[in-house]
A and B are shown apart, each in its own frame.
Chain A
Amino acid sequence: MLSGVIEFRIDRHSGVSTYLQIAAQVKQAMRMGLLGPGDKLPTAREVVEATRVNPNTVLKAYRELEHEGLVEGRRGMGTFVTASLATDATKADAPLRQDLDRWMDRAVDEGLSADEVDAIYTDVRGTHY
């Protein structure tokens, strides 16, 4: 299915309201280049079937994204992405990303846990940013 581009994961214990989680996940997908201008977001009905949320919540998230100028609702057709958040640096085939991918491979080979990897990443990021 064409509309099956992204699937929302709702964390019911995060304390972050559901509509903000949905909006954030659309933006994340846009940043990663998974969603770009012209792509259609899943309909409220599709999201409800997949994740059991209130369709009004989905529409609220889409309205929020529309307000930010990222998507556009077209009557009777659905909601479409109108902007691009992807930069060359965040795309899947970007060199920096591939470097990190290779680095992560080594970490797995050397038996590091995800927590250890996160700790290293956070620490290194902290010294640069």
Chain B
Amino acid sequence: MKINLILKKTVDLEALDHGLSLFVWRVYARIRFRTIDGWTEERLAIVDTGSPYSTIPAPLWEVLEKKAHFKTKISGIVPHSKVFLKAILADVDGALVDSRNVTEPLAFPAFLADSREVPIILGFARLLEKFKLVVDTPQNRAWVEL
């Protein structure tokens, strides 16, 4: 099965202010999460091959069917011990979708962040690791294959 992804290519405004013409690329997948009685509406999530785990912002995860494992802290590339988000690592179920196809429900671990100001991120653990991921930037297309 093939699920089409969405490639975003936008101008980096900060670089442009410095006379540089650079683009910001993102790869997005459409995903639905399992709730207690069904599935959420489609949400756009960043496909992040640099992320070991997925992340879901508050309060999106509050209505999801989930199994919490432990509380933790997540941080980015800023090397400062005080720069982090509180999160809970939990198992959730999701299904990648496009206009034609839907994957089987996939159970995967995700950081349930206590912040609302983060995007949905899809990482490797039990999710991206299950797919063949193709990103063809010259042709402006991307997809995953199961």
Is B truly associated with A?
no
Interface residue ranges, B against A (CB under 8 Å): none
Interface residue ranges, A against B (CB under 8 Å): none
